Amino acid sequence: MGMSTVCRIARRCVYSTCKSDMSHFVRSMSFLSEFQKSLKEKDSFAPTENRPADEADIVIIGGGLVGSSIAYFLKRKIVRGMRVVVIERDPAYTRASSSLSVGGIRQQFSLPENIQLSMYGAEFLRNIKEHLTVDDADPPDVQFNPYGYLFLATEKGVRQMKTNYEIQRELGAKVELLTVTKLKEKFPWINTDGIELASYGTANEGWFDPWCLLTALKQKAKSLGVQYVHGNVTGFTIKKDKIPKNGPYDPYYDNRIQNVKISMPNGPEVRSLAATVVVNAAGPQAGHLSKLLKIGEGNNEMSVSLPVEPRKRYVYFYHCPSGPGLDCPLVVDPTGAYFRREGLGGNFICGLSPSEEEEPSVNNLNVDYDWFEDRLWPLLSKRVQAFENLKLKCAWAGFYDYNTVDQNAIIGGHPVISNFFFANGFSGHGIQQAPAIGRAMSELLLEQSYKTIDLSRFGFQRFIDQQPLPEMLVV
């Protein structure tokens, strides 16, 4: 080896040692920056995903089926330029009526608006793959069972059933009236003692999985830009307008909600969200929410409170192998007891709405099994003889957002607080009406009037005028 090669090798060795020193130095530099980065992530003041913006165009309080449906229909029309925020205090929906529901959909109501709302609900479910598919994900499957509802009527209820049938046929609902002989022929397992007439829905009636619909709506709304915030609404700031409502000498001033106060989870922070429009879709807690706005305390129109309160309903799941087979619809007894088949293994689901005196307390979701033994089982076994031998497997309870005045939906604005809207009080038929309610609210908010289904009769004004609009067929 000559001197030059030795020098070259020596130079390379020196460089490599320097490089390794350099690399060590460089690596320690990057380690430092990573440490700084991790500090930033753990910084509690850094922005995280759950924080809402400081202001929003439309704030929907309640992220269940009704709230998500309203958000989806709003964003469907205007994708950019409108900020919609949905506030939900229970993102796992453990106590939500949407997920604990039995999941039935029917067109057999007594008011034409209710019939039209559920008809659109059925159409929405039929075309759900077209409406709610998110890119690059599986299309939603709502598992609709098209087996119909069967309402039974004694002699007292025959006239009401016939008038309801006329209204339903006029609006295009596919319902047929069955006499006792036809009923026996079609469903031989029914005991027709005391039954004079039955109405059976042949199309667009049945039951589905409301949890699938809820997740599909939520995902589609999120993909369109709706922000779901995990928080609890604890108050509002209301501002009185300086301009009176109807002319300069009108003593009534417009009240507007300026901010929504949201208490964030895992801490004492209460955020203030400035809102242009606030929609109450809080389900059973709607009455409590409206009390925060002092609706129910005050003069004149403010003295009328929102008559929505939670009512606990039990649902029981039992096994009866010799029960009705594939042709079993959701049968509703004249006493109010209902049952339906669940799956193909001889399992059934049943329930009964208690009368006003027997209403259970709503502090918890505990199930009363004596209610099944004492009240529900005798009614079931009287109606279907095979149900005398059944085994109760499990049960759960959920809340109805019960409208104490007339058991119908409350949709529309408040006369005094001009940017507060209601979508409450569905009393057990909220999930079937949720898509149509979403569409109606989006029309009301964006176009100032109902375009497809006219729900002006369901406004808050009927409580001020004391003209209730009762629904006869409430299960």
Partner 1 sequence: MAASMRVAVRGSSLRLLECCSGCKRITKNVPQRSMSVINYWTEQWLNWTTFNLRRKNVLVEKRVEYWGSELAAAHWLLAHQNSAVQFTNGHWYAKNKKGRYYLPRDAVKDEYIISIDAKRSRITYDGLENLFLLKHLKYLSLKGCPHIDDFCLARLHHFKDSLTHLNISECPQITERGLASLHSLKKLERLNMKNLPQVDSPELISVMLEDVLPNLKLQVVSQHVARHHDMMDAAASWRKRTEDSLKQNTSRDEKNAKN
**Least CB distance to partner 1 at residue 314 (A):** 26
Nearer to partner 1, 79 or 344 (CB): 344
| Closest CB to partner 1 among residues 126, 245 | 126
Q: Is the dihedral of CA 26, 32, 38, 44 positive or negative?
A: negative
CB nearer to partner 1: pick between 200 and 463: 200
C-beta closer to partner 1: residue 135 or 356: 135
Of the two residues 135 and 465, which places its CB atom closer to partner 1 in the complex?
135
**Residue nearer to partner 1 on the CB measure, 29 or 203:** 203
Per CB under 8 A, residues contacting partner 1 are: 126-127, 129-130, 133, 135-136, 139, 143-147, 202-203, 206, 325-327, 344
Least distance between partner 1 and beta carbon 307 (Å): 37
Between the alpha carbon of residue 274 and those of residues 67, 237, 417, the distances in Å are: 19, 9, 15
How is the beta sheet containing 175-178 ordered, strand by strand?
175-178, 197-201, 149-153, 330-332, 338-342, 347-351, 308-319, 391-403
Angle at Cα 305 formed by Cα 300 and Cα 310, nearest 5°?
Answer: 175
Q: Which is nearer to partner 1, 186 or 375 (CB)?
A: 186
**For residues 23 and 17, what is the distance between their CA atoms, to the nearest angstrom?**
10
What residues have CB less than 8 Å from 46, skipping those under 6 apart? 40
Distance CA 100, CA 396 (A): 8
User: Is the separation of the CB atoms in 348 and 339 below 8 Å?
Assistant: yes
In the complex, least distance from residue 84 CB atom to partner 1, rounded to whole angstroms: 22
In terms of Cα–Cα distance, which of 369, 364, 367 is closest to 392?
A: 369
Min CB(227)–partner 1 separation in Å? 22
Closest approach of partner 1 to the CB of residue 223, in Å: 10
Q: How far is the CB of 344 from partner 1 (least distance, A)?
A: 6
Answer yes or no: are the C-beta atoms of 107 and 201 closer than 8 Å.
yes
> Do residues 443 and 280 lie in contact, with contact meaning Cβ atoms separated by under 8 Å?
no
Shortest distance, position 213 Cβ to partner 1, whole Å: 15
**Shortest Å, Cβ 124 to partner 1:** 12
Task: Pick the closest to residue 180 from 202, 147, 158, 165 (CA basis).
Answer: 158
Q: How far is the CB of 76 from partner 1 (least distance, A)?
A: 15
Pick between residue 130 and residue 465 the one whose CB is nearest to partner 1. 130
Distance CA 417, CA 256 (A): 5
E strand spans, 196-307: 197-201, 206-207, 227-230, 232-244, 253-263, 270-280
CB of 192 to partner 1, least distance (A): 19
Q: Which is nearer to partner 1, 111 or 142 (CB)?
A: 142
Q: Which helix (H) or strand (E) holds 311?
A: strand 308-319
What is the C-alpha to C-alpha distance for residues 84 and 49, in angstroms, rounded to an integer? 15
Rounded to 10 degrees, the C-alpha dihedral 353/359/364/366 comes to -60
Residues 261, 239: Cα–Cα separation, whole Å: 14
Closer residue to partner 1, CB minimum distance, 67 or 210 = 210
Q: How far lies 409's CA from each of 94, 227, 403, in Å?
A: 24, 26, 8
